Amino acid sequence: MTRLKGRDTHMYGEIRLYSGSSCPVLAQEISDYLGVPLSGRDLIRFPNENQFCRLHASARGQDVYVIQSTASPVNDNLMELLIMLQTLRLDSVGRLTSVVPYLCYSRSDKKDQPRVPIAARLVADMIEIAGSDRYMTLDLHAGQIQGFFNIPGDVLTAFHILSAHFQELRDDMKDPVVVTADLGFAKKGRNFAAKLDMPIAFIEKRRKSNETKAEAVGVIGDVRGRDVIIVDDEVDTAGSVTQAFEIVKKQGARDVHLSFVHAVLSDPAFERLSKADFKDIVTTNTVHIPQDKVLPNMTILSIAPLLAEVILRAHEGRSVGEMFNE
């Protein structure tokens, strides 16, 4: 049953949902939640790797949402998003919103050495230039990326979804403690721990030379004899979280759980996660995980109800902050 029945559609016409090719399952879940069918479009890749988009029907004057994550293949998915946005803008839609559950290049958020780009700013500029009036995304790696956009947006978090999952498991856990994979995630980690009313500990990293990555060397806090939840915003190659697993185990931790929002999971992430003896791995579907890559101890929580509710509130001009008592 549609959640829009009997509601005013406002100045932008009706909600229209378009899905890119990166997260069709998530887009369908959003569609089902809202009771709004996905609008038809053709996405074509020519032999020369150029991409093409054609709408099945006009969306002129409508309130349009394009759902496309920009994980691997990153540049193909990003270009597909931009082409879809321009196609819809040229069709004279009323308002155009980019719904990007995972925003690529978010680690390139500053010049941390000479003669390097700030690619996250470039991505924000391209989304705006392609025609987007607004954007939605989740759990940016760096909060300052919000300032790269000159258009309004909703930067959401899925950590309340993850914390609610662990709240249900809490009674079966022994003296649980939240551990952040590095000190850079300390603030979000504290919020996650506070939500669960658990203490927090931190993995300490040190860089042995200018040429090597920082390595986990110890844990700041007490984990001995306790169940541990290692938390991070995204897992790429899984090096940091598997190092964190080894450190807390050496310090006497009992069961170790892993929780993160964005399952980027570049090689050799699956191999590393398979070898690590995590009690469970809890993530979300901001990035599509093929069924053959879903590990036996992996739980994937859907962000579709969150995004669908925010789309509905944006369409109706209602507060998004009220969803989180803000």
- Residue in the structure block whose two tokens are 């053709």: 42
How far is the C-alpha of 5 from the C-alpha of 2, rounded, in Å?
6
Residues linked to residue 284 through DSSP beta bridges, in sequence order: 301
Give Cα 47 to chain centroid, integer Å: 31
How far is the C-alpha of 128 from the C-alpha of 121, rounded, in Å?
11
How far is the C-alpha of 223 from the C-alpha of 216, rounded, in Å?
15
205 is catalytic: yes
**Quick check: 272 and 256 in contact, CB under 8 A?**
no
Which tokens sit at 48? 């020369």
Beta strands in 59-182 (DSSP E): 63-67, 95-100, 134-138, 153-156, 177-180
- State the catalytic residue, choosing from 111, 205, 213, 275: 205
* Alpha-helical segments (H) within 197-250: 239-250
Catalytic residues, by residue number, are 205
